Amino acid sequence: MSSTRILEEISAEVQPYRSNENGVSSLFLNRWSPRAFDDRKVSEEDLNAILGAAHWAPSSYNDQPWRFVVAKTEEQLAVFHQFLGEFNQLWASTAPVLVLVASDTKRENGDPNGAHAFDAGTAWGYLALEATLKGLATHAIGGFDRQQAKAALNLPEQYDLHAVIAIGYQGDKSSLPAPIQEREVPSGRKLLSEVVFEGSYK
């Protein structure tokens, strides 16, 4: 599906599960989090564009607290696989790229940065949308051993670790273990009225 169609049309795969009721770009509905990846490599050009999009996210005081540790070689991926949770190892081990998203909890002057996690989450959102435009799938993984990852990747103690992002081309769900295949569909959303409140919460 071309980037133009991704922006303008809801894909056939997504249509049974999501409908556009608020006039947003179809890009947002076409982005979802599959677990099946095929063995095609992600080009350096596309990977740099995806990470570059994340780096253009807004941040408090333009501190840009996000940090991305990328694994794409067999050796690098093996290190990441060791600190993923057991369930996530079942499927994420086929992704050709894994990216750990961390953020610096301190500003350059040493003061606490209360916005670091908010900003890193925004960067992940930009990453996911750019990947969708490139025809790639992403899946954020929260189930991993943060202390083990921090030690294995030599991350400073003041960094918080948020997620490992699997990036690659979507594969056939038949490659997944049977219990996971059942979950390999785009998720729906609550009604907008359930999460948006005008004037006050109630």
Q: What is the pLDDT of residues 69-90, one digit of tens each?
A: 999 999 999 999 999 999 999 9
DSSP 97: E
Does an H or E element contain 167, and which?
strand 159-168
d(C-alpha 88, C-alpha 93), whole Å? 8
- The confidence score (pLDDT) of residue 32 equals 97
In the three-class reduction of DSSP (H, G, I as helix; E, B as strand; rest coil), residue 66 is classed as strand
d(C-alpha 97, C-alpha 93), whole Å? 9
Phi, psi (rounded to 5 degrees) for 11 = -65, 155
Rg (CA), the chain: 18
Mean pLDDT of 87-112: 97
- The confidence score (pLDDT) of residue 146 equals 98
Q: What is the pLDDT of residues 21-57, one digit of tens each?
A: 889 999 999 999 999 999 899 999 999 999 999 999 9
Task: Compute, in degrees rounded to 10, the torsion defined by CA atoms 142, 121, 101, 158.
Answer: -100
DSSP E strands in 7-91: the ranges are 66-71
**Cα–Cα separations (whole angstroms), residue 90 to 23, 82, 99, 165:** 37, 12, 17, 15
- The confidence score (pLDDT) of residue 4 equals 86
